[in-house]
Structure 1
Amino acid sequence: MVKFQCSIAINLVLLQRLLALVASQSFDFFYFVQQWPGSYCNTKQSCCYPTTGKPAVDFGIHGLWPNRNNGSHPYDCYPKKPFNLSEISDLESSMQKDWPTLACPSSDGQNFWSHEWKRHGICSESVLDQHAYFKTALGLKQKANLLQALKNAGITPGGSYSLKSIHNAITESAGYTPWIECNKDSSGNYQLYQIYLCVDTSGSKLIKCPVFPKGTCSSEIEFPSF
Structure 2
Amino acid sequence: MESKFLFLINLLVLQYLAVLCVSQDFDFFYFVQQWPGSYCDSGKSSCCYPTTGKPAADFGIHGLWPNYNDGSYPQNCDPNNPFDESKISDLISNMRRNWPTLACPSGSGETFWSHEWEKHGTCSESVFDQHSYFETTLGLKQQTNLLQALKTAGIKADGRTYSLGDIKDAIKEGTGYTPWIECNQDSSGNSQLYQVYLCLDNSGSSLIECPVFPKGKKCGSEIEFPVF
Contact 2:100 2:109 (C-alpha < 8 Å) held by counterparts: yes
Deviation at 1:79, TM superposition (A): 4.8
SS in 2 for 1:192: strand
Contact 1:32 1:64 (C-alpha < 8 Å) held by counterparts: yes
Corresponding position: 1:200 with 2:201? yes
Distance in 1, matches of 2:103 and 2:223, equals 23
The corresponding residue for 2:32 is: 33
Corresponding position: 1:100 with 2:100? yes
TM-score (norm 2): 0.88
SS in 1 for 2:132: helix
Q: Which runs of 5+ in 1 are unaligned?
A: none
Contact 2:76 2:122 (C-alpha < 8 Å) held by counterparts: no
Decide which of 212, 215, 218 is 1:216's aligned counterpart.
Answer: 218
Q: Which amino acid aligns with 1:156?
A: K
Distance in 1, matches of 2:119 and 2:181, equals 22
SS in 2 for 1:218: coil
Change (3 A) 1:48 1:79: closer
SS in 1 for 2:219: coil
The corresponding residue for 1:88 is: 88
Distance in 1, matches of 2:76 and 2:57, equals 35
Q: Which amino acid aligns with 2:58?
A: D
Deviation at 1:142, TM superposition (A): 0.4
Contact 1:176 1:207 (C-alpha < 8 Å) held by counterparts: yes
Contact 1:30 1:66 (C-alpha < 8 Å) held by counterparts: yes
RMSD across aligned positions (CA)? 2.1
Q: Aligned pairs, how many?
A: 215
Deviation at 1:69, TM superposition (A): 1.1
Q: Which amino acid aligns with 1:68?
A: Y
The corresponding residue for 1:131 is: 131
SS in 2 for 1:58: coil
Deviates more, 1:141-150 or 1:207-216: 207-216
Deviation at 1:203, TM superposition (A): 1.9
Deviation at 1:202, TM superposition (A): 2.3
Distance in 1, matches of 2:76 and 2:149, equals 37
SS in 2 for 1:211: coil
Distance in 2, matches of 1:80 and 1:151, equals 43
Contact 2:35 2:59 (C-alpha < 8 Å) held by counterparts: yes
Quick one: percent identity of the two aligned structures? 70
SS in 1 for 2:123: helix
TM-score (norm 1): 0.89
Contact 1:66 1:124 (C-alpha < 8 Å) held by counterparts: yes
Q: Which amino acid aligns with 1:223?
A: F
TM alignment of 1:145-224, pairs within 5 A: 145-158=145-158, 159-214=160-215, 215-224=217-226
Contact 2:38 2:194 (C-alpha < 8 Å) held by counterparts: yes
Change (3 A) 1:23 1:128: closer
Distance in 1, matches of 2:125 and 2:119, equals 12
Q: Which amino acid aligns with 1:176?
A: Y
Distance in 2, matches of 1:173 and 1:102, equals 27
Distance in 2, matches of 1:23 and 1:105, equals 36
The corresponding residue for 2:227 is: 225
Distance in 1, matches of 2:153 and 2:75, equals 39
Distance in 2, matches of 1:66 and 1:202, equals 11
Q: Which amino acid aligns with 1:55?
A: P
